[in-house]
Structure formats: C-alpha cells, structure tokens
Amino acid sequence: MKLSRLFWRELKFRSLHSILSLLAVSLTVGVIATVQMRLEWRRADTERVLSENKAEVEQVFAKLEDEMRKITKAMGFNVMVLPAEQNLADFYANDFAAKTMPENYVNTLANAGIVTVQHLLPILQKKVFWEEAKSTALLIGVRGEVPFPDTVPKSPLLQPVPKGHIVLGYELHANQGWKQGDQISFQGAEFTIHELKPQKGNKDDITLWIPLEQAQSMFDLEGEINAILALQCKCAWADIAKVREELTKLLPDTQVIEFSSRALARAEARNQAADARKKGLEQENLNRQQILLREERFASTLIPLICLGTMSLLAALTFVNVRDRKSEIGILRAVGLSRAKVLQLFLGKAASLGLLGMLPGLAVAVLVFSQLGLPESPLSWQDGLKPLSLSLIALLAPLLQGIAAWPPAVWAANQDPATILHED
Amino acid sequence: MLNIVDVYKRYTPSGQSPVEALRGVSLSLNPGDFASIRGPSGCGKSTLLLSAGLLQRPDEGRIELKGQDVYALSREERASLRRREVGFVFQQFHLIPYLNLLDNIQLSDCVEPEEHGEERATALAEQLGIAHRLQHTPGELSVGERQRVALARALYGKPSYILADEPTGNLDPDSAKRVLDELAQFAEHGGIVFMVTHDPEAAARATRPFTMNQGLLETPA
Ligand SMILES: Nc1ncnc2c1ncn2[C@@H]1O[C@H](COP(=O)(O)OP(=O)(O)OP(=O)(O)O)[C@@H](O)[C@H]1O
Ligand SMILES: [Mg+2]
C-alpha cells in the first residue's frame, strides 16, 4: 500500500470533486490558451502588416527617388535671380526686370560652386519696339554660359550669340522671307542672322537674342544685367526652397523666383503621392497597433481575473476535500504519517489535477481556436500556436492549482489527530 | 515498559472555564498486560488513551515507552515511533472508505512498508475471519467485520501495544467476543492492551482492570 495508491483511489472515489476540479482547470486553461493564442496570432499578424508596410514605404520612396532623379535629370527646374528691389508684379506684367544688377554677380555664383545649379546665364532683357520691322519684341542680350571653375565642363544649354549676330523668334521672321546669314538692321545697327527659331508657341516666338555686350551698349547699361538664369537645378528632392536659400545666401542683394515649373509640379505631385501613401500606411500601422493593444489589455485583464476566479474555486474545493477527509487524516497521522506527508498528499493531488486538467484544456483550446474564425490575413490559425506561451500555460495549470490548494493543504497538515480521533 | 507518570491534561475551550481531564494519572503496563479502564462519561478515559498513544501531549507528567520519554522526541520521531510501536482501534473504526480491506489493513505501509506485507495482511485477515472479503471496501462489510479490519490494521505493524477506545461499543455480542478474544491473544503473545470500555463483560476480560473518575485512576481493591 503506497501513498500513491491511496492518492489515485481517492481521486476515483471522490469523482465529483475530482471532475469539478478538472473541469475548473480545463476550462481555465482552455480560455486562457484560446485568448493567448488569439493574442499571439494578432501579434504575428500585426508584425506582418508592419513589416510589409515598412517594405512598401521603402519601395514607394525608392521609386519616388528614382522618378525624381528621372524628372530632374530630364528637366531640372529653373530659377531666375533678379535684383532685390525689382517689383515682381512689374516683372510679371512687363516680362522683364526694369532694375539691374552688376554683371559680375554671375561670377560670384559660379565661383561659389553651387552644387544644385548646372547652368548660369546672365541676361539683359528689355521689351522694345523694333523700328525697322514695326513690331514689339522681347530683346535678350546673352553672353553664353558662365563656366563653373571647379566642375567638369557641361554641354552648354544655350549657345552664345556671336558678336554682330542676331537670333530671331518665329513671329519676328515669319513673314519676312529672311534666311540665315542675311544682314538685317535692328534699331539702327546691322546684324547678321545667326539663327531663325521655329515656332514655339510661347514668348520665345517674339524674342530676339543679341550678344549681351551689344545689348548693354544699346541701352547704356555697360556691366549691368537684369537677370541671371540658373538652369536645370538638380537636387534629388526638387526642393526649390533649398536652391533659393543657397542662391540668396551668396547674393543677399537679389531675389530668386522659379519659372518654367513643369518639373517642379511633377516632382511635387510625386512627392505628395508618396507622402499620402506613407501617411496611409502609417495610419494603418497605428490602427493595427491599437487593435493589438486593445486585445493585449483585454487579455491582461481577463487572464488574471480568470486565474483568480479559478483559484478561489479550487481553494474552496480543496477545503471541502480536506473537511471530508478529516477522519482519514486522523487515522493516517495515528499510523505515523508525518505532517509533511499530509501536506504533500493534498498539494500533490492539486498539482496532479492541474496537470490532468491542463491537457484536455489545451486540446479544447486548440480546437476552439482553429474553428474560431480569424480576421482576413495570409496567416493561418497555426500561427497563433506559440510553443513558448503554450508551455507557460501548461505550467501555469498545476501551479495555479498548487497555490490555490496551499492554504487548505496547510490546514490539513495542521489538523490535530487527537482532536479528530477524539470526536468519536 | 509503558509508563504513565503523573500525567495532567487540561482543556481550555475558548470562552469557557478550563476542564481538568486528567489530574495526575500514573500507570505502568508491561508486556502481557491486558488493561481496561471503565468510568463515567467525561472522566478522561479517551484523553488518557490518546496521550498514551503519542498523539496528545500532556500538560504535566511523562509517558515513557521502553524508558524513553516520548514527548521529549520531535514530532517526526514520535510519528515514526507510532508507526512501529502503537496500534489503534476506535469505536468508529476510522477505515478509509475507498481502499479495499487489504489496503486498509496495510495502511501503515504508506509510512514505512512492512516486509512481506501482503502475506502478513492476508494471514491476519484469515485469523480474523475476513479473508474472503479482502477485495471489498469497508462500506460493503458488516459493522462487526469492519471492526475486525480495524483490529487487523492495528496488529499489522507488529506494535508493542494496542490502544482500543471502546472497540466493542458498536458491536453485537458475537462480534464483540471475537474482538476481545483477539486482544486477549495479543496480550498473551507479549503485547500490551490498553482498552477503554463501558461494558462490564469486556472489562472482565482484562488482566488489569481499572476505573477512572474525574481524571483520576482508581485501582480496584
Ligand atoms: N477538545 C476538548 N476541548 C475541551 N474539552 C474537552 C476536549 N476533549 C475532551 N474534553 C473534556 O475533557 C473531559 C474528558 O474527556 P474524555 O473524552 O477523555 O472523556 P471520556 O472518559 O473518554 O468520555 P466518554 O466515555 O464519553 O468517551 C470531558 O469533560 C470532555 O468534555
Ligand atoms: Mg471517550
């Protein structure tokens, strides 16, 4: 007759008590494991969405960067440096700046080595009435590009006009029957036609280009210009503000406006689209994290409550068991069983019931969880099965039982056999 | 060899005046003694028996077993001494309802197994006429049979003495006689029997009859 035999016979004999305890443990383990598996699944799913979104944001921005490079490479965007005191309303109304600034400003810019600007063109621009042709024209004195001293020579954007030559916009030569090389007279001076521009459909059609120096002397503005074109400013993020800042820092006496903004508009649109997508994904991440947080809160409230409830129930059941077994405790102590063994008997029973109840509890939990139905996701219910957390729950069951049974088991061990046996 | 020396025991129920259950009891029992104690209800018989059974520490006095003051021992030592030296029989049997007879008889094995336990238990069951019921549980037995199981359980651990508190109190005369015969036989074989009883016939079987009154032992003239 071993104590273990007594133990198992008692479990069978007081089957109602055993079944109730087992049910309590199974149910608790079942609920906790289900909640936990769902939580683990949610964690995995959230992690999945977050990393997918992160990858997508990275991809969106890589694509954006690529597009930006293409956009700015293809076009760049152009800014015009004007004298600071130039009224912009007048500038836009008259198509040229009335104010002027020293021509050597352009050298200041060139020598400063501005990384974002590819081409610098000083110009002197005036609206004139062409006496000989009886037509209004926009005159631009150009000198050709100012080379950047430190960088490799770029293919120039605009060829300079050779001295004594003139380039004519379409409207200005369309009905004249002129050819390249013809001599024409402009404001009393003789020019050789250097180039006849095809129709553009913009201001270029009424523009004529002559060397800057000749324009300056024509208007008595030697050494003066009224604009510097900075063309094809190429920075990755098409950030006009940055270009503006760079330029005005060097030439505090100027203002910078952006013109021909096709590239900018496109870049902005791309930027905004990427930003919107990023915001959308961030919002989704936030929503996901909030759902996870909510479920974590739910679990962290529910699980302790269930544990507490079950432990109270198990403690009560063990108390009843001890009370029912007082006579047994009396005779066992009389035949020499120590208090420690009595304690062991009741704690052992609790832990065994915990272990026995845990297995069906886990099995039912897995079954319920697999049938529960989960939110749309490429993850399957198996992704909620985390060996670590399931093992912890498996350990929790006998532990809870043991803790719950501790006070009644101590009470059992402290029973005075003399009192019990005396109560005949 | 079982010496009860000037033992006092007082119960102090909460909120009530104390009860003097034993008021200086001395008694010496030797192998072969079959002692009985009679006396009015509440005179302290069960208290004396439990103290002698190493289950209840007296307030004063000593209980000596083979010269050893048993209450000077630790609780654990006393428990294992109980396993080896003492057998109990109670009026209410205190059998374990879910163990069959064989296991009930061998109950003390869960403290310390007896050698050839099953043969010994079976032999005792035969001796007591309950061998045919070994696989039954106590609930399936008659009252008389149950007391014989309790007696077998007391004898199983080869104790030096058996403490019996009204062992025949619930029994019909035939069963009572059978239990008393066994106790007498145990004493004849060198054991000590210390029996509390209300029954004059049972008391008459004792070689050393005592009476008790208000916590004091009286030896008949
Ligand atoms: N745990 C206890 N608390 C208080 N008083 C007790 C306790 N146990 C016994 N007594 C009292 O001690 C006295 C002796 O009790 P005990 O049970 O030893 O008497 P008894 O002779 O065995 O009586 P009975 O013949 O009825 O069994 C009684 O007055 C009883 O009421
Ligand atoms: Mg009594």
Q: What is the DSSP string of A133-166?
A: TTEEEEEEEE--PPPPSSSPPPPPSSPPPPTTEE
B115 pLDDT higher than 50? yes
CB of B41 sitting under 6 A from ligand 1: yes
Cα A362 to Cα A26: distance, rounded to the nearest angstrom: 7
* Nearest CB to B96 within list A328, A336, A421: A328
**What SS3 class is residue B102?**
helix
CB of B37 sitting under 6 A from ligand 1: no
Cα B204 to Cα B34: distance, rounded to the nearest angstrom: 10
Contact between residue B87 and residue B149 where contact means Cβ atoms under 8 Å apart = no
- With a pLDDT cut of 70, the percent of chain B lying above it is 99
The ligand minimizing its distance to the Cα of B12 is: 1
CB of B215 sitting under 6 A from ligand 1: no
Q: Which helix (H) or strand (E) holds B21?
A: strand B19-29
Q: Is A6 within 8 Å of B82 when comparing Cβ atoms?
A: no
* Nearest CB to A9 within list B99, B106, B108: B99
- With a pLDDT cut of 90, the percent of chain B lying above it is 92
Collect the ranges in chain A with pLDDT lower than 70. Answer: 69-77, 113-118, 144-159, 231-240, 259-267, 424
Which candidate, B46, B41, B58, B40, places its Cα nearest to that of B3? Answer: B58
Structural tokens at position A359: 């297995």
Chain B interface, best mutation among A335, A421, A423, A424, by max B CB count within 10 A: A335
CB of B16 sitting under 6 A from ligand 1: no
Q: What is the per-residue pLDDT for A64?
A: 80
Contact between residue B41 and residue B214 where contact means Cβ atoms under 8 Å apart = no
Q: How far is the CA of A285 from the CAs of A52, A57, A281, A288, A292, in angstroms? A: 10, 12, 6, 5, 10
Q: What is the per-residue pLDDT for A237?
A: 47
Q: What is the per-residue pLDDT for B58?
A: 96
B40 pLDDT higher than 70? yes
Q: What angle do CA B148, B149, B151 make, to 5 degrees?
A: 60
Nearest residue (by CA) to ligand 1, atom 30, is B42
pLDDT tens-digit series, residues B117-161 = 999 999 999 999 999 999 999 999 999 999 999 999 999 999 999
Structural tokens at position A21: 């305890």
Q: Is B110 within 8 Å of A9 when comparing Cβ atoms?
A: no
The pLDDT confidence band at residue B189, using thresholds 50, 70 and 90, is very high
Q: What is the per-residue pLDDT for B63?
A: 95
B29 pLDDT higher than 90? yes
Cα B136 to Cα A90: distance, rounded to the nearest angstrom: 119
Q: What are phi and psi of A151, to 5 degrees?
A: -110, 165
Cα A377 to Cα B20: distance, rounded to the nearest angstrom: 80
Q: What is the per-residue pLDDT for B131?
A: 94
Residue in chain A closest to B118 (alpha carbons) equals: A1
Distance A237 CA to ligand 1 centre (A): 100
Q: Which amino acid is at A390?
A: L
Pocket probe for ligand 1: among B7, B16, B45, B214, the residue whose CB has the most ligand atoms within 8 Å is B45
Q: For chain A, which residues make up each domain, given as ranges?
A: 3-61+272-423, 78-258
Which candidate, B219, B208, B205, B196, places its Cα nearest to that of B38? Answer: B196
Q: Kindly report the nearest CA distance between residue A313 and chain B, in angstroms.
A: 25
Residues 6+ apart with CB under 8 A from B190: B31, B32
Residues in chain B: 221
Q: What is the per-residue pLDDT for B210?
A: 94
Q: Percent helix, strand, coil in chain B (nearest 5)?
A: 40, 25, 35
Cα A41 to Cα A382: distance, rounded to the nearest angstrom: 8
Q: What angle do CA B168, B104, B115 make, to 5 degrees?
A: 115
Q: What is the per-residue pLDDT for A17?
A: 92
Whether the model pTM is above 0.80: no
Q: Quickly list DSSP for A247-287.
A: HHHH-TTEEEEEE--HHHHHHHHHHHHHHHHHHHHHHHHHH
Chain A interface, best mutation among B94, B122, B124, B146, by max A CB count within 10 A: B94
Cα A68 to Cα A263: distance, rounded to the nearest angstrom: 9
B166 pLDDT higher than 90? yes
Q: Is B55 within 8 Å of A333 when comparing Cβ atoms?
A: yes
Average pLDDT over residues B176-186: 94
Question: B93's torsion region: left (phi>0), alpha (psi -120 to 50) or beta?
Answer: left
Cα A270 to Cα A272: distance, rounded to the nearest angstrom: 5
Q: How far is the CA of A88 from the CAs of A98, A248, B127, in angstroms? A: 10, 16, 129
* Contacting residues of B for A3, CB less than 8 Å apart: 110
**What SS3 class is residue A308?**
helix
Q: What angle do CA A311, A314, A315 make, to 5 degrees?
A: 85
* Residue B9 Cα: closest atom of ligand 1: 12
CB of B159 sitting under 6 A from ligand 1: no
Q: Does B46 touch chain A (CB under 8 A)?
A: yes
Residues 6+ apart with CB under 8 A from A352: A7, A11, A398
Distance B89 CA to ligand 1 centre (A): 18
Average pLDDT over residues B188-213: 94
Mutual orientation of helices A240-250 and A105-112 as an angle, nearest 10°? 120
Structural tokens at position A162: 């050779």
Q: How far is the CA of A299 from the CAs of A39, A47, A185, A296, A303, in angstroms? A: 8, 18, 91, 5, 6
Q: What is the per-residue pLDDT for A202?
A: 79
Q: What are phi and psi of A179, to 5 degrees?
A: -125, 165
Residues 6+ apart with CB under 8 A from B62: B3, B4, B5, B6, B7, B69, B71
Tokens 């049910």 locate to A23
Residue in chain B closest to A339 (alpha carbons) equals: B76
Average pLDDT over residues B67-80: 93
Distance B46 CA to ligand 1 centre (A): 7
Structural tokens at position A40: 């683990």
Residue in chain A closest to B79 (alpha carbons) equals: A336
Which DSSP letter does residue A71 get?
H
Contact between residue B21 and residue B192 where contact means Cβ atoms under 8 Å apart = no
List the helix and strand counts (H, then E) for chain A.
Answer: 12, 11
**What SS3 class is residue B94?**
coil
- What is the residue-averaged pLDDT of chain B? 93
pLDDT tens-digit series, residues A151-189 = 544 545 566 788 899 999 898 888 888 888 899 998 888
- With a pLDDT cut of 70, the percent of chain A lying above it is 88
